[in-house]
Amino acid sequence: MRYTLITLIFIIILCIGLQGQSNDYLKQKNDKIEQGSIFTKIINRELPATIAYEDSEIIAFVPLRLQAPIHLLIVPKREIYTLNDASENDALLLGKMLLVAQKLAVEKGISESGYRISINTNEDSGQSVFHIHMHLLGGKPLGPMVTQE
Ligand code: DGP
């Protein structure tokens, strides 16, 4: 009985550790996933956005809060919640998103000065929309990726 309880506690602690996301974040994430993707609403023109690119699989638009003079979100029309949820089947799509980023960087005049592509994934990155997206950022020196401790 005692060993069973200890084993159970050990498994619970292990699961929490492996989960790696706080309960608050997981709750928010699940709620947002249940409510449906705001990016799909933009794709379906149920929400307004300044669209910079669109084809049958991918859309790119200006985010609500700019984090650099040039800031675009490159989003697949197919909903994939996070990069963790992408699979081999999505390899071509993810590659195409990078090429859209490249094209937009040329169009926005930042391909030579430089730019950054980032995909926030889960809590530590601050992912707040659970529909995979690439941030294209540029138009000024962006500084280090993360502040060194
Ligand atoms: P992330 O933190 O990596 O999940 O980035 C989410 C991005 O989505 C952030 O740049 C703000 C943007 N965003 C969130 N809601 C909306 C919206 O309703 N419209 C637009 N255009 N952008 C949004």
Structural domain boundaries of the chain?
1-35, 37-138
In angstroms, what is the span from residue 130 Cα to ligand 1's centroid? Answer: 10
Q: Six-digit token pair at 1? A: 């009985």
How far apart, in whole angstroms, are the C-alpha atoms of residue 57 and residue 35? Answer: 22
**43 has a pLDDT exceeding 90:** yes
Would you place residue 3 in the very low, low, confident or very high pLDDT band (cuts 50, 70, 90)?
A: low
| 135 tagged catalytic | no
CATH of 37-138 given 3.10.20.30, 3.30.428.10, 3.65.10.10, 2.30.40.10: 3.30.428.10
In angstroms, what is the span from residue 129 Cα to ligand 1's centroid? Answer: 6
Half-sphere exposure of 140 (CA within 13 A, CB side): 8
How far apart, in whole angstroms, are the C-alpha atoms of residue 148 and residue 22? Answer: 24
For residues 10-35, give the mean pLDDT.
80
Q: What is the pLDDT of residues 113-137, one digit of tens each?
A: 999 999 999 999 999 999 999 999 9
For residues 78-102, give the mean pLDDT.
98
In angstroms, what is the span from residue 63 Cα to ligand 1's centroid? Answer: 5
Using CA atoms, how far residue 118 sits from 33, 71, 137, in Å, is 21, 11, 8
Measured in whole angstroms, the distance separating CA 39 from the mean position of its chain's CA atoms is 11
**50 has a pLDDT exceeding 90:** yes
Q: Are 132 and 85 in contact (CB under 8 A)?
A: yes
Q: Could you tell me how many residues make up the chain?
A: 149
Q: Pocket residues for ligand 1 (CB within 6 Å)?
A: 38, 47, 49, 61, 63-65, 73, 120, 126-129
pTM of the model: 0.89
